Amino acid sequence: MMRPLMPSAPPARKRQTARGVPIVWQLCVALLLQLLALVLPAPALAAPNHIAAQLLAEGPARPGAAVTLAFAMQPEAGWHGYWQNPGDAGLGMTTDWTLPAGASAGALQYPVPQTLVVSGLMNHVYEHAYAVLVPLTLPADAKPGAVLPVKVKAQWLACTHEVCVPEQAELATTVTVGQPGAPDPRFDAWRAALPAPLGSKAAFQIAGNLLRVAIPLPQAVKLESPHLFVATDRAVDYAAPQVWRRQGDTLTVELPRARFAPVDPASLSAVFRLNRAGDGVSIEAAPGAVPSGGEVLRDTASAVPALPWLLLAALAGGLLLNVMPCVFPILSLKALSLARAGESEAQARAEGLAYTAGVVLACLALGALMLGLRAAGQEVGWAFQLQEPLVVAALLLLAVAITANLLGLYEFAVPGFASAGSPQGAFATGLLAAFAATPCTGPFMAAAMGAALLLPTLPAMLLFGALGLGLALPFLAIACVPALRRMLPRPGAWMVWLRKGMAVPMGLTALALVWLASRLAGSAFALSLALLGFLLVVVLMVLGRRQRHGLASTKQLVPALLVLGAIGAVGLPSVVRAPTAESAGLLPSEPFSEAALARARAGGKPVFAYFTADWCLTCKVNEAATIEREATRDAFAKAGVTVLRGDWTRRDPAITRYLTARGAAGVPLYMWYPAGGGAPQQLPQVLGPDTLPALAAAK
């Protein structure tokens, strides 16, 4: 895109056009043309403007009163002009007035602008006919009946998606001094397009890398695709997603600060667009308290399926989690429980219902926690708990205890996956199954969980409950349908071998959690956690020996576990360190950021952005089978594809905001940005081996 940046932009904001010419040179050429237009005779640079301009006066006005002037702007098809703050690229209008003595012109008044994103740059534009209004105050000593000449030299920038042209015109009109005439319907329509004053003071505060604004607005006001156009230059990142929340009669919006040399404004001027029709209000915000929490507003511009379809998607997504790689370790626990279900019909039904209750309750609790944290202003998404080292530590110790139990090193009545079945054990197993499934998202589930983070509380909780029901459905069906239960083999000695065999995936899960701990918090943390797991195995072996000799063990077990828990709670946080950088993969990439995405798109080449996490097994399967392949690397190199990798292993608010803005509750997420600034495409969560090479070949 050949758009000059604002003159005040720092050198770091230089962009590349699709044709490879630095845009800073285009700006120099544009300014040179403007200079030549001022010093050369008009015929030397005679060319029609792509945005036709006309200066109009509303009508007569009394001496000392104000009359409204209008710059009526008419862009050609495919061309656009700019708002007072053009955004990432462009230039607003400048004026040089020639007025009668004693007359004065006020500030330019712009209508509510439109957003235009090209090559990752956010622009504030007008792609249709518009008018910029100016109040003109007449001289107090003007004589009634006099005709006052008004002249102005106006300059503006006219652009398409590929080229920008600096334009200018010398415009003139007259104002008659006298009684105001009949209203001009054109001016009434132009005034209606201006943002109305809010009437109440807004507040803003800077919180780290975010600028948060609180806007008093009655809850009855309907919103559609709200957007805040900040007039203050270099205060915010214009292209970054805006997160809106409503709490009663207060709206809050979070805007990431400018990427380069952000300013700390003493006050904030902005235009708040209420809907896609262009209605808006102008706000003036002063530093002050901005409340946290509230209901996240979804973008009504994007089609969101109706709640019944979302419930079906959540149910299907939970059902498919039973065959996803991230849920496989828990299948060992379910296999033993399902085998026991053939012993007694009543017991099987009780265990099935208890297991389902455990799964659904865990999903509801996790959903309530996630919604509560987001309402409090935290940037979290699906499987957020696995971004915390101490949660991974607890999961590792639990996996070690389960592995030791399956190997027969000790017996434990609850959760009961290796001893005689019980509803209490099935309930605890359901809790564990749901918690182990959280790192994964799959087909159907992504849309449902993404919507759950944006919907009101009750529909969102229904979606989390439907997800849990889908996850528990196979176990519940076998427990409650005798025909299915009769298909299971009868209990026997084979269960002992199956129990020990199922210790293998649980042991591998424990090893995977050690690796994840090293990625989250460094090698010292992982080594300390492995040592703690070894001590736990020793304690459990001692417990098992006492059990086999018929000795009481509870009094010895509880203090030992409390000591290990205290060691972990006190010692592990002290060894948490930032992990070392991961070695480069087969496919060259750079870390994802909104700035990196904007730079890559400005180059005009295709961009592939993928979001992953070390605890997401689906992500790792896709990377091994599709992304980190020589065929993909070669196809991307041939097409000049830029690869951006968003690592969500640790909490990253910027990545969370990007995921939320695209309706994704978690990872994996794969985005393809075609060459030339075309509309981005969200790829499926399960990629085929030829998906990416085919996209690169098609460009």
- pLDDT tens readout for residues 37-53: 444 444 444 468 999 99
Q: How far apart are CA 463 and CA 461, in angstroms?
A: 5
Q: CB pairs under 8 A, 24+ apart, for 28-35?
A: 30/4, 30/157, 30/164, 30/165, 30/166, 31/166, 33/166, 34/155, 34/166, 34/168
Q: What is the CATH number assigned to the segment(s) 197-296? A: 2.60.40
Quote the pLDDT of residue 95: 95
Most confident option among 278-292, 311-325, 397-411? 278-292
CA distance to 98, 102, 171, 191, per residue, from 151 (Å): 5, 15, 6, 22
> Is residue 453's pLDDT more than 70?
no
CB 137 within 8 A of CB 103: yes
**Among 7-21, 270-284, 332-346, 377-391, which is the least confidently predicted range?**
7-21
Q: CB pairs under 8 A, 24+ apart, for 576-579?
A: 576/389, 576/521, 576/522, 576/525, 577/521, 577/522, 577/524, 577/525, 578/522, 579/518, 579/519, 579/520, 579/521, 579/522, 579/523
Q: What mean pLDDT is predicted for residues 627-645?
A: 92
CA distance to 192, 233, 258, 477, per residue, from 230 (Å): 20, 8, 11, 56
CB 520 within 8 A of CB 648: no
3-state secondary structure of 236: strand
**Among 7-11, 81-85, 234-238, 571-575, which is the least confidently predicted range?**
7-11
Task: Pick 185 or 230 by higher pLDDT.
Answer: 230
Structural domain boundaries in the chain: 11-193, 197-296, 307-575, 590-698
Q: What mean pLDDT is predicted for residues 5-29?
A: 39
Quote the pLDDT of residue 440: 62
**Which of 589, 571, 582 is closest to 531 using CA atoms?**
571
> Is residue 105's pLDDT more than 70?
yes
User: Residue 693 is inside which H or E element, if any?
Assistant: helix 691-698
Q: How far apart are CA 537 and CA 543, in angstroms?
A: 10
Task: Pick 18 or 235 by higher pLDDT.
Answer: 235
Count of C-beta atoms within a 10 Å radius of residue 157: 23
Rounded to the nearest integer, the mean pLDDT of the chain is 80
Q: What mean pLDDT is predicted for residues 249-274?
A: 88
H-assigned helices in 453-590: 457-480, 482-486, 494-501, 503-521, 523-548, 554-571
**Which of 194, 263, 227 is closest to 117 using CA atoms?**
227
- pLDDT tens readout for residues 335-378: 556 655 555 778 888 888 988 999 999 899 988 888 777 666 56
Sheet holding 164-176, edge to edge: 94-98, 147-159, 164-176
> Is residue 103's pLDDT more than 70?
yes
Q: pLDDT above 90 covers what percent of the chain?
A: 27
Task: Pick 382 or 466 by higher pLDDT.
Answer: 466
3-state secondary structure of 644: strand
Q: How far apart are CA 501 and CA 503, in angstroms?
A: 5
> Is residue 31's pLDDT more than 60?
no
Phi-psi region at 161: left, alpha or beta (left = phi > 0; alpha = psi -120 to 50): alpha
Q: Do domains 11-193 and 197-296 have the same CATH topology?
A: yes
> Is residue 136's pLDDT more than 90?
yes
Q: Which fold has domain 590-698?
A: Glutaredoxin (3.40.30)
**Among 117-126, 318-327, 416-425, 534-543, which is the least confidently predicted range?**
416-425
Two tokens, residue 24 = 């800073």
Q: pLDDT above 70 covers what percent of the chain?
A: 80
Q: What mean pLDDT is predicted for residues 550-562?
A: 72
Task: Pick 34 or 506 by higher pLDDT.
Answer: 506
**What are the backbone angles phi and psi of residue 71, rounded to the nearest 5°?**
-90, 100
SS3 percent helix, strand, coil of the chain, rounded to 5, is 40, 20, 35
Sheet holding 51-57, edge to edge: 51-57, 66-75, 130-137, 104-105
Q: What mean pLDDT is predicted for residues 242-250?
A: 86
> Is residue 592's pLDDT more than 50?
yes
> Is residue 27's pLDDT more than 50?
no
At residue 332 the predicted structure's pLDDT band, cuts being 50, 70 and 90, is low
Q: What mean pLDDT is predicted for residues 672-685?
A: 80
> Is residue 271's pLDDT more than 90?
yes
Q: How far apart are CA 78 and CA 158, in angstroms?
A: 10
**What are the backbone angles phi and psi of residue 202, rounded to the nearest 5°?**
-95, 170
Q: What is the CATH number assigned to the segment(s) 11-193? A: 2.60.40.1250
Quote the pLDDT of residue 20: 37
Q: How far apart are CA 314 and CA 308, in angstroms?
A: 10
> Is residue 641's pLDDT more than 90?
yes
> Is residue 123's pLDDT more than 60?
yes
Two tokens, residue 47 = 């060319």
3-state secondary structure of 173: strand
